[in-house]
């Protein structure tokens, strides 16, 4: 059984540590650690899972984990990873988002604890930041840092290098608030470790320095590499196509499919970072990807594991069934909502509902119209060879008409040529 530090290294979750003695301390279950979560949207996204699951790994090894919702810092906005100023949310918007985020965070760790597992804590930093006096903050925190230090931080420097954007005093001060969070958690809960993505290193080390200067004590930092897409961009709420943990914002099927589509050169890293599969299981999936990539066994294991963590077994089974249905007769049993999701990325053509009345539409002509074949003669050849499917049922040569009986959920007809080429008729 690997130690926590061995497991974190195997999973690629150790990017930077402030002290080499930190990992042995985590192995011994000696620390309280926290990570912060930004409430700038009404849901967390899959990129946040990296921090949530790392805290869970720490908790399972006997450390105390603290999930911190940024109800206070969310009113200011973290400039990290941004090329421009964040849109400022109202207090009501932030408070609403915090409630949603807290509800999601509480599902992933044991808030009541267990044998050898201290209870995780779920906190909101507005509980203390909202009552901090401005003058006291300047004297007790601002006085500990120079502007030179703050300007040198990458989150600030990258903005100053772009005079067309710049950075407001509000966002410039964000790192001081984050440092104060660390100090507060140290004072109140003995928290000595802050976790975060690699882009948070500068902010986290500010907190370490504040604790050292204010209390003469040692605190620690650990960062992990950012969770990246295949194109090198990070998963996040500001990225087009963000995948949310709220099922109303990204359905379980959409989350499942986002991981099914992960490329082979990324899937191994994500299996390590986002699942609790054993080292041996991941090694076997690595080998399967190398030797039989067309089976996409690693992608299916990744999609299943993440979907179960976020949405549970029942919704995952439903998403798996929907994924299978695109090329099976199960498609006829999907409800209208799920069917619309399954077909969302398919090429489509609008067709008048009246074309299917009476004797129906000429299937060969429709196959040409959709581009699945080049001509009616080619369509006849494919049909005679048994390569035409309507709503995933093989069509026989004497069944060359489309009628209302072929319609799914009252709105769609799915045409398929062979095993891969498909097209959706949307009834208008």
Q: Could you tell me the two tokens for 353?
A: 């509902």
**CATH 3.40.50.620 residue window(s) in the chain:** 4-224
Interval 330-355 mean pLDDT: 87
Question: Per residue in 130-148, pLDDT tens?
Answer: 999 999 999 999 999 999 9
Q: Could you tell me the two tokens for 248?
A: 């109303």
Task: State how far the alpha carbon of 158 is from the alpha carbons of 154, 167, 202, 247, 422, in Å.
Answer: 6, 10, 13, 35, 46
Cα–Cα dist 350/159, whole Å: 47
For the domain made up of 252-325, give the CATH fold: Tyrosyl-Transfer RNA Synthetase (1.10.240)
**CATH 3.10.290.10 residue window(s) in the chain:** 348-427
Question: Per residue in 245-263, pLDDT tens?
Answer: 999 999 999 999 999 999 9
Residues in the chain: 428
Contact 255, 310 (CB under 8 A): yes
Interval 355-363 mean pLDDT: 91
Cα–Cα dist 202/356, whole Å: 64
Handedness of CA 94, 99, 100, 101 (dihedral sign): positive
Dihedral angle, C-alpha 39, 260, 54, 51, nearest 10 °: -20
Q: Say which range, 106-120, 177-191, 336-350, has the weakest mean pLDDT.
A: 336-350
For the domain made up of 4-224, give the CATH fold: Rossmann fold (3.40.50)
- Kindly tell me if the per-residue pLDDT of 407 is higher than 70: yes
Q: Tell which wins on pLDDT, 337 or 180.
A: 180
Q: Long-range contacts made by residues 8-14, C-beta under 8 angstroms, separation at least 24?
A: 8/54, 8/57, 10/272, 10/279, 11/272, 11/273, 12/224, 12/225, 12/269, 12/272, 12/273, 13/50, 13/54, 13/57, 13/224, 13/225, 13/272, 13/273, 14/222, 14/224
Cα–Cα dist 62/222, whole Å: 17
- Kindly tell me if the per-residue pLDDT of 334 is higher than 90: no
Pairing of strands 121-124, 348-351: unpaired
Percent of the chain with pLDDT over 70: 96
Interval 178-191 mean pLDDT: 98
DSSP annotation of 196 reads: E
Q: Taking each helix axis as running N to C, give the angle between helix 49-60 and helix 297-325, from 0 to 180 degrees, rounded to the nearest 10.
A: 120
- Kindly tell me if the per-residue pLDDT of 240 is higher than 70: no
- Kindly tell me if the per-residue pLDDT of 319 is higher than 80: yes
Q: Which residue has the tokens 């985590």?
A: 26
Contact 72, 296 (CB under 8 A): no
> What is the reported pLDDT for 237?
53
Contact 42, 241 (CB under 8 A): no
Q: Tell which wins on pLDDT, 165 or 25.
A: 25
Angle 103-260-389 from CA coordinates, rounded to 5° = 125
Q: Could you tell me the two tokens for 189?
A: 């809960």
> What is the reported pLDDT for 239?
53
Instruction: Give 397's pLDDT tier (boundaries 50, 70, 90).
Output: confident
Instruction: Give 229's pLDDT tier (boundaries 50, 70, 90).
Output: low
Cα–Cα dist 194/197, whole Å: 10
**CATH 1.10.240.10 residue window(s) in the chain:** 252-325
H or E stretch including 390? strand 388-390
Q: Beta-carbon neighbour count of residue 148 at 10 Å? A: 7
DSSP-H helix ranges across 239-375:
252-260, 264-274, 279-291, 297-325, 336-342, 363-369
362: three-class secondary structure by DSSP: strand
Q: Tell which wins on pLDDT, 115 or 374.
A: 374
Partners of 361 in beta bridges: 402
> What is the reported pLDDT for 274?
97
Contact 145, 208 (CB under 8 A): no
> What is the reported pLDDT for 235?
65
Q: What is the CATH number of domain 348-427?
A: 3.10.290.10
**Mean pLDDT, the chain, integer:** 91
Q: Could you tell me the two tokens for 344?
A: 């969302």
Question: Per residue in 26-84, pLDDT tens?
Answer: 999 999 999 999 999 999 999 999 999 999 999 999 999 999 999 999 999 888 666 66
> What is the reported pLDDT for 236?
57
């Amino acid at each position: 059984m690997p130690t926590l530090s061995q497991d974190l290294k195997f999973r690629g979750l150790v990017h930077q540590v402030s002290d080499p003695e930190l990992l042995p301390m985590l192995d011994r279950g000696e620390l309280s650690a926290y990570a912060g979560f930004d409430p700038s949207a009404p849901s967390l996204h899959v990129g946040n899972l990296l921090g949530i699951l790392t805290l869970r790994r720490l908790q399972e090894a006997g450390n105390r984990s603290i999930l911190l919702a940024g109800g206070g810092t969310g009113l200011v906005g973290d400039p990290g990873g941004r090329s421009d100023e964040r849109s400022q949310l109202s207090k009501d918007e932030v408070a609403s988002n915090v409630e949603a985020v807290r509800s999601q965070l509480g599902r992933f760790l044991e808030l009541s604890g267990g044998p050898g597992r201290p209870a995780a804590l779920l906190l909101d930093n507005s509980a203390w930041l909202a009552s901090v006096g401005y003058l006291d903050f300047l004297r007790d925190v601002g006085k500990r840092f120079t502007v030179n230090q703050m300007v040198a931080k990458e989150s600030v420097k990258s903005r100053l290098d772009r005079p067309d954007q710049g950075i407001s005093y509000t966002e410039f001060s964000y790192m001081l608030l984050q440092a104060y969070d660390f100090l507060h958690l140290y004072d109140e809960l003995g928290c000595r470790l802050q976790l975060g993505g690699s882009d948070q290193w500068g902010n986290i080390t500010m907190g370490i320095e504040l604790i050292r200067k204010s209390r003469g004590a040692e605190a620690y930092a650990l960062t992990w590499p950012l969770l990246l897409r295949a194109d090198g961009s990070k998963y996040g709420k500001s990225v087009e196509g963000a995948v949310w943990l709220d099922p109303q914002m990204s359905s379980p099927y959409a989350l499942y499919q986002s991981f099914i589509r992960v490329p082979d050169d990324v899937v191994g890293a994500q299996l390590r970072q986002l699942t609790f599969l054993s080292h041996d299981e991941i090694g076997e999936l690595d080998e399967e990807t190398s030797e039989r990539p067309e089976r996409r066994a690693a992608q299916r294991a990744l999609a299943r594991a993440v979907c179960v963590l976020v949405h549970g077994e029942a919704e995952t089974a439903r998403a798996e069934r929907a994924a299978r249905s695109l090329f099976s007769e199960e498609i006829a049993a999907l409800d209208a909502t799920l069917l619309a999701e399954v077909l969302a990325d398919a090429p489509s053509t609008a067709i008048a509902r009246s074309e299917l009345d009476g004797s129906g539409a000429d299937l060969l002509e429709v196959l040409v119209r959709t581009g699945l074949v080049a001509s009616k003669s080619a369509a006849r050849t494919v049909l005679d060879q048994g390569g035409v499917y309507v709503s995933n049922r093989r069509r026989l040569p004497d069944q060359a008409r489309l009628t209302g009986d072929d319609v799914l959920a009252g709105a769609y007809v799915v045409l398929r040529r062979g095993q891969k080429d498909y097209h959706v008729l949307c009834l208008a």
